[in-house]
């Protein structure tokens, strides 16, 4: 009986210890999360629009008068947003950002409890806390309005669950939110438990991804997300993106101790291998155009957990050097102008949408390459010049900012308004993206449309030229 009592007392102490570390982890990440709360991504409005149409009963479609298309890469995301989507676009975006922040803090709480219970040196745990506290990508994408935080939460829970089968099932769910994470999930499953059952665990981890692919085949005629067609992979860009993402997300730097990980084996080695596989998958997928290493964010807590688990077998000097390098890089990144500029994206978009509303009030169709923010200014049909929601344009040659859209194709879609992103200095207007530069240079388009206004975005001269159809 005495032993049972001692065991119960030890369990209570462990739980209290875990709760203390959980609370501490949440507290240390809050300052940077608050500092970056104004960050958002234009593509977040795409998921919001699908969710709003689901909530309104219009179905899973980007345009209410258009076909159902596969315009949201994380297939479940719009359905998860739908219950909170009975509102204007900007309100729904704010709710999505709130959901993301809650998911991020939940992931941090789970992670904090796990490192608190880990049998590791206290300095390693403090180092992991410090690195997570200054990691700009995780803080910024906690409130980007997209599925990133939910994927991070699921991946973090998977990384700390002691039961390998439950962990692998949870890892598979991450791939339903971020398709490229199927590689992470399968790699983790292969090494997360005894070798004889590795194949079964890998199949379990791959199952949600396969289910999403099958649904896509039935609903849209292709297994891969439409974004893969709209934004074809470029290995050179993918490799450079993966390298930079691995650096600015900090965790890969901290955990890079191959010898110690081989000695530790177990969960720490499984998470490190999975993290490496994920970065390779990002490279093969061609990376991403969104700022702050979005695709690397979901694996950051798991890699820091791997660092803590393996820390007893690491050289203290080498570990300290890696942590110092990561913290120094974090300070450098936080001092970059882009870091500060990212804090004002949401307010800039709100201002842009407010200025655009009177100009788009009578439009039935609006053509744009950036199709997110216009949905906050108008309920009109959006002609997607990037092809992210339009299979016909997605299939055209070129990347999502360089599709070979000629004037004839645009005129066939008959937009009332065309929005072209540009930079304006004095009287000089520069179009920095291929699609818009090509259209702005079209004499036929300029005969059909006239420049009505320039909508500034931010304070650096960027904005959108508004072309309206000429009266006949």
Q: What is the pLDDT of residues 205-217, one digit of tens each?
A: 999 999 999 999 9
Asked if 81 and 171 sit in the same domain, the reply is: yes
Looking at every residue in the chain, the average pLDDT score rounds to: 93
Residues 412-439: what's their mean pLDDT? 93
pLDDT given at position 7: 45
Asked if 417 and 389 sit in the same domain, the reply is: yes
CA 120 to chain CA mean position, Å: 31
Asked if 258 and 313 sit in the same domain, the reply is: yes
Instruction: Give me the residues paired with residue 12 across strands.
Output: none
Determine phi and psi for 194, rounding to 5 degrees. Answer: -60, 140
Q: What H or E segment, with its residue span, contains residue 456?
A: strand 449-456
pLDDT given at position 290: 87
CATH number of the CATH domain containing 417: 3.40.190
CA 225 to chain CA mean position, Å: 15
**Torsion sign over Cα 300, 302, 304, 310:** negative
Q: Which residues contact 385 (CB under 8 A, 6 or more apart)?
A: 367, 368, 369, 371, 393, 403, 405, 410, 435
Cα–Cα distances in Å, from 120 out to 123, 165, 309, 310, 441? 9, 25, 6, 8, 63
The DSSP 8-state label assigned to residue 350 in this structure reads H
Of the candidates 233, 285, 276, 220, the one whose C-alpha atom is nearest the C-alpha of residue 252 is 276
Give the confidence band of 124 by pLDDT, cuts at 50, 70, 90: very high
Asked if 59 and 77 sit in the same domain, the reply is: yes
Residues 420-425: what's their mean pLDDT? 93
Of the candidates 175, 169, 107, 157, the one whose C-alpha atom is nearest the C-alpha of residue 135 is 107
Q: What is the pLDDT of residues 61-112, one digit of tens each?
A: 999 999 999 999 999 999 999 999 999 999 999 999 999 999 999 999 999 9
Give the confidence band of 6 by pLDDT, cuts at 50, 70, 90: very low
Of the candidates 227, 233, 114, the one whose C-alpha atom is nearest the C-alpha of residue 178 is 227
Asked if 361 and 328 sit in the same domain, the reply is: no
Last residue of a domain, one of 342, 366, 398: 342
| E strand spans, 24-81 | none
Residue 7 lies in a domain: no
Asked if 405 and 423 sit in the same domain, the reply is: yes
User: Can you tell me the distance from the alpha carbon of 363 to that of 379, in angstroms, rounded to the nearest whole number?
Assistant: 9
Given a cut of 50, whether residue 11 has pLDDT beyond it is no
| E strand spans, 292-361 | none
User: Can you tell me the distance from the alpha carbon of 364 to that of 64, in angstroms, rounded to the nearest whole number?
Assistant: 12
For residues 299 and 184, the answer to whether their CB atoms sit within 8 Å is yes
Asked if 300 and 378 sit in the same domain, the reply is: no
Last residue of a domain, one of 342, 358, 391: 342
Q: What is the pLDDT of residues 324-371, one digit of tens each?
A: 999 999 999 999 999 998 999 999 999 999 999 999 999 999 999 999
**Torsion sign over Cα 366, 370, 374, 379:** positive
Domain that holds residue 225: 17-342
For the chain, what is the domain count?
Answer: 2
pLDDT given at position 195: 84
Residue 165 lies in a domain: yes
Percentage, residues of the chain above pLDDT 90: 84
Q: What is the pLDDT of residues 230-277, one digit of tens each?
A: 888 778 889 999 999 999 999 999 999 998 888 878 899 999 999 999
Residue 1 lies in a domain: no
pLDDT given at position 210: 97
User: Can you tell me the distance from the alpha carbon of 72 to that of 381, in angstroms, rounded to the nearest whole number?
Assistant: 17
Using the structure block, give the residue that is written with the tokens 């983790």.
188
Residue 4: how many CB atoms within 10 A of its CB? Answer: 8
User: Can you tell me the distance from the alpha carbon of 302 to that of 155, in angstroms, rounded to the nearest whole number?
Assistant: 7
Q: What is the pLDDT of residues 176-202, one digit of tens each?
A: 999 999 999 999 999 988 888 999 999
List the structure tokens of 178. Answer: 């971020």
Given a cut of 50, whether residue 134 has pLDDT beyond it is yes
The DSSP 8-state label assigned to residue 401 in this structure reads T
Asked if 299 and 243 sit in the same domain, the reply is: yes
Asked if 203 and 321 sit in the same domain, the reply is: yes
Residue 10 lies in a domain: no
Residue 416 lies in a domain: yes
Q: What is the pLDDT of residues 13-38, one digit of tens each?
A: 556 677 899 999 999 999 999 999 99
List the structure tokens of 46. Answer: 């795409």
Last residue of a domain, one of 321, 342, 363: 342
Residue 4 lies in a domain: no
Asked if 322 and 361 sit in the same domain, the reply is: no
pLDDT given at position 299: 97
Residues 311-315: what's their mean pLDDT? 93
pLDDT given at position 399: 84
Given a cut of 60, whether residue 4 has pLDDT beyond it is no
Residue 3 lies in a domain: no
Using the structure block, give the residue that is written with the tokens 């490190």.
272
Residue 280: how many CB atoms within 10 A of its CB? Answer: 16
Asked if 374 and 296 sit in the same domain, the reply is: no
Q: What is the pLDDT of residues 368-389, one digit of tens each?
A: 999 999 999 999 999 999 999 9
Three-class SS of 78-92: HHHHHHHCCCCHHHH
Asked if 249 and 352 sit in the same domain, the reply is: no
pLDDT given at position 15: 61
CA-atom Rg of the chain in angstroms: 24
Residues 166-170: what's their mean pLDDT? 95
pLDDT given at position 427: 80
pLDDT given at position 10: 46
**Torsion sign over Cα 450, 454, 457, 460:** positive
Residue 6 lies in a domain: no
Q: Of 254-258, 463-467, 468-472, where does mean pLDDT reach its minimum?
A: 468-472
């Amino acid at each position: 009986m005495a032993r049972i009592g001692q065991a119960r007392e030890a369990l209570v102490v462990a739980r209290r210890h875990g709760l203390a570390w959980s609370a501490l982890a949440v507290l240390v990440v809050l300052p940077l999360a608050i500092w970056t709360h104004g960050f958002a991504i234009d593509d977040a409005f795409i998921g919001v629009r699908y969710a709003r149409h689901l909530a309104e009963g219009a179905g899973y479609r980007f345009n209410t008068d258009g076909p159902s298309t596969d315009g949201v890469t994380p297939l479940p995301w719009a359905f998860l947003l739908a219950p909170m989507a009975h509102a204007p676009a900007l309100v729904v975006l704010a709710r999505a950002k709130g959901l993301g922040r809650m998911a991020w803090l939940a992931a941090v709480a789970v992670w904090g409890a796990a490192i608190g219970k880990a049998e590791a040196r206290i300095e390693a745990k403090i180092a992991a806390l410090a690195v997570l506290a200054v990691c700009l990508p995780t803080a910024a994408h906690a409130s980007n309005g997209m599925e990133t935080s939910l994927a991070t939460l699921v991946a973090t829970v998977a990384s700390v669950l002691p039961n390998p089968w439950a962990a692998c099932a949870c890892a598979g769910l991450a791939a339903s939110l971020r398709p490229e994470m199927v590689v992470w999930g399968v790699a983790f499953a292969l090494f997360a438990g005894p070798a004889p059952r590795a194949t079964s665990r890998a199949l379990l981890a791959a199952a949600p991804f396969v289910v999403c692919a099958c649904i896509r085949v039935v609903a849209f005629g292709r297994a891969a997300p439409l974004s893969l067609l709209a934004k074809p992979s470029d290995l050179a860009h993918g490799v450079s993106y993966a390298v930079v993402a691995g650096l600015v997300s900090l965790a890969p730097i901290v955990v890079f101790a191959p010898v110690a990980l081989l000695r530790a084996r177990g969960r720490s080695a499984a998470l490190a291998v999975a993290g490496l596989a994920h970065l390779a998958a990002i490279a093969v997928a061609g990376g991403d155009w969104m700022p702050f290493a979005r695709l690397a964010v979901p694996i950051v807590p798991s890699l820091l957990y791997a660092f803590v688990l393996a820390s007893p077998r690491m050289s203290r000097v080498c570990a300290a050097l890696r942590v110092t390098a990561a913290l120094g890089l974090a300070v450098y990144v936080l001092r970059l102008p882009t870091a500060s500029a990212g804090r004002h994206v949401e307010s800039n978009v709100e201002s842009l949408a407010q200025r655009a509303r009177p100009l788009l009030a009578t439009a039935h169709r609006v053509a744009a390459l950036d199709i997110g923010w216009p949905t906050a200014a108008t309920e009109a049909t959006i002609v997607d010049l990037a092809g992210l929601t339009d299979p016909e344009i997605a299939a055209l040659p070129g990347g999502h900012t360089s599709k070979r859209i000629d004037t004839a194709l645009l005129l066939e879609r008959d937009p009332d308004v065309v929005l072209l992103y540009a930079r304006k200095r004095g009287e000089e207007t520069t179009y920095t993206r291929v699609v818009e530069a090509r259209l702005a240079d079209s004499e036929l388009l300029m005969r059909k449309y006239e420049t009505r206004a320039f909508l500034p975005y931010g304070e650096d001269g960027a904005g959108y030229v508004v072309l309206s159809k000429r009266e006949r």
